[in-house]
Amino acid sequence: MKVEIGESLVRTWVRHCRGCQLAELNWKPSPIWPGEITAEHEQWYREGAAEFSGKVLKKTSSLSQFLGQAEIDVLGVQFVQGMARKVIAADIAFHTNGLQYGPKAETAARIVKKLFRTALTIDIHFPGVPAEILFLSPKVNNATIQGVKEAARMMESFFRGRRDGFRFQTIINQGFKNIVLDDVTPLQKQVADTSELYLRAAQLVGLFEDRVPRPAKATAAPAQSAPRKTGQTLPIEYVPGDTKEFKRLLLKQGAVIQEHYADGRTKERQWDASGMRETSSVSGNLRSKSWYKGGAWLTSGISKIVVKIIGYDT
C-alpha cells in the first residue's frame, strides 16, 4: 500500500500531539460491521442533497452508494478508561502547486463532499462519540481559500441541531505549519519508529545537518544579553470570557491557542485538554506548558495569548 508523506505526517500529529491511542491510515469501514444506516441518516442525506449543489451529491446516488466510497486518510480515536472519548477524522491534500481539484467551485464542492461523507460514516460507526472532522492542506492558493473555509462552515451549520459533538475545521497554509508541523518536528528527537515516515525523513536530514561545517563568523564584540524580566505573569485572554463556561466547553470541544508576539506576529497551536479534569486550573495548566513556563514565553517574545474554544462564535 502506498503511503503519502502528508498522510504519515498527520497520523504522527494525531497520534503523538492529539493523544489518540489508535491512529490508522486510509481507514475504511468493513461491510461486515454491524453499523446501521438509520432513517435519520437517510433524512440527513436527502436534506444534504437538497441543500448542497449538484456537484456535491448526484441525484442518482443513494446513501449506501455514497458511503461505499468512504475512506478517511487518518482516523484517530482517544480512549479514556476504556471508552472512546473522541474521534479525529482527517483528510489531507498535499499539492505542491496549491490545492486544486479543478475550477475553484469544483474544489470547494469536493471538500464539502469529503466532509459530509466522513461525518455520516463517523455517526454510523461511532454513534454519539464527539468527533473532530478536519481538512488539511499545506498550500491553498488565494483564489481557493474562501471556498475551503466555507466548506467547513457549511458543515457546521448543517449538523448544528442535527448531531451534537461534531466539530469541523480546515487547517491550511500557515495554520498547517503552526498547528501540525511545528508540533511534530521536535518529536524527531523522541520518537524512533520506522512507520513514522515524516519523522524518519527529518531524522535522516538531521544526520547531515550536524556534519555541515558552519561558515566562520566575523569577530565581533560579544552581544549583550537582554536583561531577564522577572515577576511577570503570562497574560491570557479566554473566549468565551466566563471562566466556568470556558472550562466546560474546553473539556468537551478543545481550544486553539493564539500566541501574540511583540513584533506583531501571531501563531496558533491546537490545545487538546483531554488530560484535564474539572478540578484542574486552566491558567495553571497553560502556564506550566514547556512553551511558556519558567519565563520561556518572554524569551520567545510572546506578549500575550488568546485561547478560544473550537467552534465558539462570539
Q: 148-189, pLDDT tens digit by residue? A: 999 999 999 999 999 989 999 999 999 999 999 888 888 877
Q: Which residue has the higher pLDDT, 41 or 208?
A: 41
Does residue 226 carry a pLDDT above 50? no
**What's the order of all strands across the beta sheet hosting 131-137?**
22-27, 72-80, 83-92, 131-137, 166-172
Record the pTM: 0.68
pLDDT-derived band at 90 (thresholds 50, 70, 90) equals very high
Residues 6 or more apart in contact with residue 154 via CB below 8 angstroms: 52, 112
In this prediction, residues 74-80 reach a mean pLDDT of 95
What's the alpha-carbon Rg for the chain, to the nearest Å? 22
Q: 269-299, pLDDT tens digit by residue? A: 888 776 677 777 888 888 888 788 877 888 8
In this prediction, residues 249-273 reach a mean pLDDT of 83
Cross-strand bridge partners of residue 306: 237, 258
